[in-house]
């Protein structure tokens, strides 16, 4: 139990870092930009449902690969996840996939270094748990920023 508490503390510390927070905020803004042109209330609700679905998958799954599978499926099926936006022509789905697959690795390493022995089976499981918890934190932050950005746009449209 003590190890689990330490893991949670380390994950929360990593998720609270400026770099982690900024990555999640940038992707939340990218998501809002990707879905911005489909502002009709029915379409916007559908995109909100996709973000809620992403959050639900992250919160209920036991594996990071389930989150990645959801991202890949949405990217393959939904135009908003594929649309190139911004000066860098970024795609929300591909950017999120890349972030989960590789960019969060640094944070996983920071959580695990000196705490988890990744050479043992138990250590590998603990590392996967840390990874999943970081993905959950990241997606929570991303979805909150997405909702905030969408609400600002809706407010401007109503004015």
Mapped onto helix, strand or coil, the DSSP state of residue 121 is helix
pLDDT reported for residue 158 = 58
In this structure, is residue 16 part of a structural domain?
no
In this structure, is residue 92 part of a structural domain?
yes
In this structure, is residue 59 part of a structural domain?
yes
Asked if 111 and 14 count as a contact pair (C-beta separation under 8 A), the reply is yes
Give me the sign of the Cα torsion angle 114, 117, 122, 126: positive
How far is residue 97 from each of residues 2, 22, 74, 124, 136, measured CA to CA in Å? 32, 17, 11, 22, 14
> Each residue of 57-74: pLDDT tens digit?
999 999 999 999 999 999
In this structure, is residue 14 part of a structural domain?
no
d(CA 116, CA 125): 10
pLDDT reported for residue 150 = 86
In this structure, is residue 13 part of a structural domain?
no
In this structure, is residue 9 part of a structural domain?
no
CA atoms within 13 A on the CB side of 133: 23
pLDDT reported for residue 134 = 97
Range of the domain at 133: 24-158
In this structure, is residue 128 part of a structural domain?
yes
The structural domain count of the chain equals 1
What confidence category does residue 118 fall into, taking pLDDT thresholds of 50, 70 and 90?
confident
pLDDT over threshold 80, residue 43: no
Output the pTM of the full model: 0.90
46/30: higher pLDDT: 30
Beta strand 84-85 with 90-91: parallel, antiparallel or unpaired?
antiparallel
pLDDT reported for residue 4 = 86
Average of per-residue pLDDT across 16-26: 96
Instruction: For residue 113, count CB atoms less than 10 angstroms from its CB and return exposed for 0-12, middle for 13-18, buried for 19 or more.
Output: exposed
d(CA 33, CA 7): 34
d(CA 100, CA 138): 9
pLDDT reported for residue 159 = 55
In this structure, is residue 32 part of a structural domain?
yes
């Amino acid at each position: 139990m003590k190890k689990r508490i330490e893991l949670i503390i380390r994950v929360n510390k990593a998720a609270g870092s400026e770099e982690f927070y900024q990555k999640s905020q940038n992707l939340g803004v990218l998501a809002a930009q990707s879905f911005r042109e489909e502002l009709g209330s029915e379409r916007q609700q559908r995109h909100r449902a996709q973000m809620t679905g992403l959050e639900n998958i992250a919160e209920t799954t036991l594996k990071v690969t389930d989150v990645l599978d959801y991202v890949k499926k949405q990217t393959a099926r939904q135009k908003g996840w594929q649309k190139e936006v911004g000066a860098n022509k970024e795609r929300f789905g591909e950017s999120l996939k890349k972030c989960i697959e590789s960019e969060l690795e640094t944070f996983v390493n920071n959580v695990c270094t000196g705490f988890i022995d990744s050479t043992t089976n138990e250590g590998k499981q603990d590392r996967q748990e840390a990874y999943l918890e970081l993905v959950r934190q990241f997606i929570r932050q991303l979805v909150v920023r997405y909702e905030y950005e969408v609400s600002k746009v809706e407010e401007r449209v109503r004015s």
